[in-house]
Structure 1
Amino acid sequence: MEFGIYTLADIETNPQTGKTVSAKKRIQEILAAAKLADELGLQIVGVGEHHRLDYAVSSVPVILSAIAQQTKNVQLISTTTVLSTVDPVRLYEDFATLDLLSDGRAEIMAGRGAFIESFPLFGYDIKRYDELFEEHLELWQRLNKEERLSWHGNFRAPLENAEISPRATKEIPTWIGVGETLESARRAGRFGTGLALVILGGNPQFFLPLVEAYKLEFIAAKHPIENYKVAITGHGFFAEDGQKARDEFYAYYRNYWGNVNKQHGMAFHMDREDFEKATSPNTPLFVGSPDEIVEKILKQHELFEHTRFLAQLDIGGQPFETVARSIELLALEIMPKVNQYIK
């Protein structure tokens, strides 16, 4: 199984100190985390986009290009690209450039994202989300294969024997990020992309129909079986002692969801009892000791047979030192133990 980390670059006040880092500092910490992950042998680093003042990254290819210059081996993936509100031609050019800068390490994960601010910002109609996503994905896949193409669609100017430059070292691996929507899982199967499940709550078993729908559509479309791939993504916080991990993370986790729900205009309350339930063995929240996390990953592997695990480790205003500890435990203890079991 491949292991990695990802960030959405949220800027939040540390609930322990009352201090908030600047966007500049937040980006510097993201670069440092990526460099550490690469040095410790993790395989993937992901960065997601938002277009809000409480997030530090809106230009994912720029940040991933900076990471490319400080790393040697990690795959560099967007987590996620809001595909409905980006021009696929510009997206391909940006990620092909990243691919050349990184010697073939670029990937994209496409999805809707947690917020909708990019739709009015870039002049797209949120009501046309599905149509935009399908058309942009279809064009992206052609751009990924063809250096010259003619194309006509409904949402952008046509292309007439257009030159698409530069060309990546190979086809850029593509994933679709899926939360709870069955149709999104089916779409990933129809288009032959990877499926990245974003599991942030609930019982992991509830997500099994998404994988099954993806697999059925993938097989029905007769895509090469080697392109079938499932990833699991979720929140994580690791410490040598499981109870210490829960004690430390509670304030950051409550802070994170309090802010996210406030941004959506929703009330939020989580007491310590709620949090303990959320971190229990049969939940998708990866908080605890390395052995506890290994057990959770292996349980999910029995369900999903996934080949990639990505942890979002830097939420809620944590200091970099805490994030770095989780990265170290993921790379040095969790990853080798999981792979020892599933070989």
Structure 2
Amino acid sequence: MKIDVDKLRFGLDTFGDVAYNDTFHTKMSYRESLQNIIKEGQLADQLGLDVIALGEHHREEYSISSPEVVLGALASTTKNIHLSTGVTVLSSDDPVRLYERFATIDGISDGRAEIILGRGSFTESFPLFGYDLKDYNDLFVEKVGLFNDLITGEHVDWESKHVQKLVNVRPYPRIEGHKLPVSIGVGGTPESVLRTAYYGYSLMLAIIAGEASRFAPYIELYKKAAEDYGTKVGAIGVHSHGIITEDDDDEAYNIGWEYIRNSMDRVGLDRGWPKMTKERYDFEVIKGAYYVGSVETVAKRIAQTISELGLDRFDLVYGTGGQLEKDRMRTIELYATKVIPRVKEILQEANENE
């Protein structure tokens, strides 16, 4: 498949995993972690990356529970990079307040705000903010509908079971000059794909396990549904975990085995997943969702994924499980300065050979 290389966007995602100190190999404090993520975002901006997306979590191992606050800090200390969440758990948030927060970030950053909405693969926020998990699906359906009205209409009237009634409401500040770019993060449910197409939002596939090619049917469903609904097909992106070293596949492999594995095993305790085996990890590194290795290895795998799925955007999730800060910074730098140019080169060569 031919790819328009010039239109590709490359981003970085972090869930806010608390990093480890380079000298003592001890976990940073939450204060240090948050300040560190600001530095990482600033580096990403200086190196010319297109987007940085911050996850929302309410768990011990993550330092970002309020991504908009961190994005606000980045808005005033960066120049070009777009500022997104990855994802905002809309089901346990208030759509009006969410709109206001992002309108504020958009104004501070001169129009660089974006948002990825999700139902929440982690569910700690539901009881924390007074929501019942039995309403998991209904909450998202209602709130995404209201949020869409807020970003597309001048004045909003709304009434539904789980969301406050609004009569002729116009939230402030206004997002001026453009509409807030919205994606929906999809982990693999057709209903989420259809909802994304219905609203004409961009599609962000969270591929955290398995071969990327298995998501091709979801992309086809998205395009077909958009045609049926008469909506615009938005950008199609993927986010997956990665660790990059200059030229040593084994070093990256070992970092991932320590940190990605530990992170997945910890998450798996809550979800009933079996512990990750060496065999499974090897599969994910060689064929699956972990873009782990040297510059050339990672570039070839990203190029393959973009080509197979016809992507417009690829986001690398860095720092999974914490990792030493020097390794996180190295991944960011190599991704921006060497991997992405090599990916574009590989794809351009493929275009010329078709």
How many residue pairs match? The answer is: 339
Residue 202 of structure 1: aligned partner = 210
Residue 320 of structure 2: aligned partner = 315
Shift of 1:125: 2.0
Deviation string 1:103-154 (CA, Å, 9 cap, x unpaired) is 0011110112231111111122222222211111111111002232222222
Q: How does 1:47-126 map to 2 (within 5 A)?
A: 47-126=54-133
Counterpart of 1:7, as a letter, is T
The two structures, once aligned, show a CA RMSD in angstroms of: 1.9
1:229 and 2:235 are equivalent in the alignment: yes
* Corresponding residue to 2:39 among 10, 32, 36: 32
Residue 3 of structure 2: aligned partner = none
TM-score w.r.t. structure 2 length? Answer: 0.90
Q: Are the counterparts in 2 of residues 204 and 283 from structure 1 also a CA contact under 8 Å? A: yes
Q: List runs of 5+ in structure 1 lacking aligned partners.
A: none
Residue 303 of structure 2: aligned partner = 298
SS at match of 2:35: helix
Counterpart of 2:283, as a letter, is K
User: Bigger shift: 254-263 or 291-300?
Assistant: 254-263
Counterpart of 2:246, as a letter, is E
Identity over the aligned pairs, expressed in percent? 37
TM-score w.r.t. structure 1 length? Answer: 0.93
Deviation string 1:173-199 (CA, Å, 9 cap, x unpaired) is 000001121211111111111110111
Shift of 1:73: 0.5
Q: Are the counterparts in 1 of residues 102 and 113 from structure 2 also a CA contact under 8 Å? A: yes
SS at match of 1:322: helix
Counterpart of 1:231, as a letter, is G
Residue 279 of structure 1: aligned partner = 285
Q: How does 1:230-245 map to 2 (within 5 A)?
A: 230-241=236-247, 242-245=249-252
Counterpart of 1:42, as a letter, is L
Q: Are the counterparts in 1 of residues 19 and 33 from structure 2 also a CA contact under 8 Å? A: no
Provide the rounded CA distance (Å) in 2 between the counterparts of 1:104 and 1:213: 31
Provide the rounded CA distance (Å) in 2 between the counterparts of 1:63 and 1:187: 28
User: Bigger shift: 147-156 or 260-269?
Assistant: 260-269
Provide the rounded CA distance (Å) in 1 between the counterparts of 2:217 and 2:24: 42
Provide the rounded CA distance (Å) in 2 between the counterparts of 1:32 and 1:183: 37
Residue 325 of structure 1: aligned partner = 330
Q: Are the counterparts in 1 of residues 300 and 346 from structure 2 also a CA contact under 8 Å? A: no
Q: Are the counterparts in 2 of residues 147 and 165 from structure 1 also a CA contact under 8 Å? A: no
Provide the rounded CA distance (Å) in 2 between the counterparts of 1:133 and 1:256: 27
Q: Are the counterparts in 2 of residues 15 and 317 from structure 1 also a CA contact under 8 Å? A: no
* Corresponding residue to 2:227 among 208, 219, 238: 219
Shift of 1:248: 3.1
Q: Are the counterparts in 2 of residues 48 and 78 from structure 1 also a CA contact under 8 Å? A: yes
Provide the rounded CA distance (Å) in 1 between the counterparts of 2:21 and 2:215: 32
Provide the rounded CA distance (Å) in 2 between the counterparts of 1:316 and 1:152: 41
